[in-house]
Amino acid sequence: MASQTEPEPTLLPAEVTRIRIPITDGSEPETSGYLLRHANDSVTIVDPGESSSLARSAVDCALASAGSPAVAAIFVTHAHRDHAAGAPALARRYDVPVIIHPAELAETEASRDDSWRERRNRQLREWGVPKDQAKAMLGSPHLLPDWQDIKLLLVTDGELLPFSNERFQVVGVPGHTAGSLALFAVADSLLLSGDHLLGHRHVGVGIGADSGIDPIGDQLASLERLRNIGPAVIAPGHGGPFAKVEDRITSERAHLLRRLAEVRSSLDRAPTLSLWQRAATLTWRRPWAELDSRQRRVALTQLAHFVSHLDHVRE
């Protein structure tokens, strides 16, 4: 069993260990989970990764390297499958609660039934996706494993992380999802950011069963919030910890504002296009014609959020 833990003495305090957790079917190779060691030597596992034997063994290795401490709780920054799907099995195994924001329960509720299909079909119709394309774009549900019978400890912005002896403060950073949470260790000036802010790429906004009313507005506000908190180091949900946080915030904000300007000028030029038609006229990381069905669905979701933000600020 290869060790997936990395001592990172330069950026992380001794009580925080990064776990590199492989993703078996995503666009990224791995997520970053963390072990937080508390004063009584127990640990909280942050974002245990997807539900796979590879992910499970990465977490097991990290626990073994840490001397097999008692597990106090599992904390999930948000309920996306690549961060949280492994949480229920671990919670059952250690008989501990999963700490999560209430808005993320929409994601776990959506995993219990078939309503995603109806929701997505309705969306594709509203976006003006042609019938012959809609079927391929429907895709499959991003279902989480069964969360029933899991003890949930619901937390929101401003609370202290349970079991952490007041070391970590819970910070609400809605945008990527409506219930995205970060953890801030004041004494270490360290913030665990989940998918709110990454070091190596821009994050998607409003991705989940509950996107909130204006995810772009939420994300911009959360970035401002983060700037005010001013952590020296960020430990993100993908990739390694990084400093120069202010620069990353500035670049993420500039990226969103650039995109908003592009969408605004498209709306001014051609106000009656459907979302599907408009998408084909905008710039994407790759040409629109080359994007596959899943990428197009994600792209349209993002575009819908940008349009609704502009509606929102116009009102």
Q: How far is the CB of 69 from Zn ion (least distance, A)?
A: 27
Q: How far is the CB of 50 from Zn ion (least distance, A)?
A: 11
- Residue 13: name the closest of 44, 35, 45, 41 by CA: 35
Task: Tell which positions 187-246 bind Zn ion, by CB under 5 A.
Answer: 195
Complex with Zn ion: residue 266 or 301, whichever CB lies closer: 301
Task: Tell which positions 178-197 bind Zn ion, by CB under 5 A.
Answer: 195
Complex with Zn ion: residue 167 or 176, whichever CB lies closer: 176
Q: How far is the CB of 280 from Zn ion (least distance, A)?
A: 27
Q: How far is the CB of 277 from Zn ion (least distance, A)?
A: 29
Complex with Zn ion: residue 49 or 97, whichever CB lies closer: 49
Give the C-alpha separation, 8 to 287, whole Å: 39
* Binding of Zn ion by 252 (CB under 5 A): no
Q: Are 214 and 185 spatial neighbours (Cβ–Cβ below 8 Å)?
A: no
Burial code of 112-131, b = ≥16 C-beta within 10 A, e = fewer? eeeebeeebeebbeebebee
Complex with Zn ion: residue 129 or 206, whichever CB lies closer: 206
Q: How far is the CB of 104 from Zn ion (least distance, A)?
A: 11
Task: Tell which positions 59-98 bind Zn ion, by CB under 5 A.
Answer: 80
Binding mask 113-152 for Zn ion (x = CB under 5 A): ----------------------------------------
Q: Could you identify the residue written with the tokens 């709780």? A: 73
> Given the rule CB under 5 A, which residues bind Zn ion?
80, 195
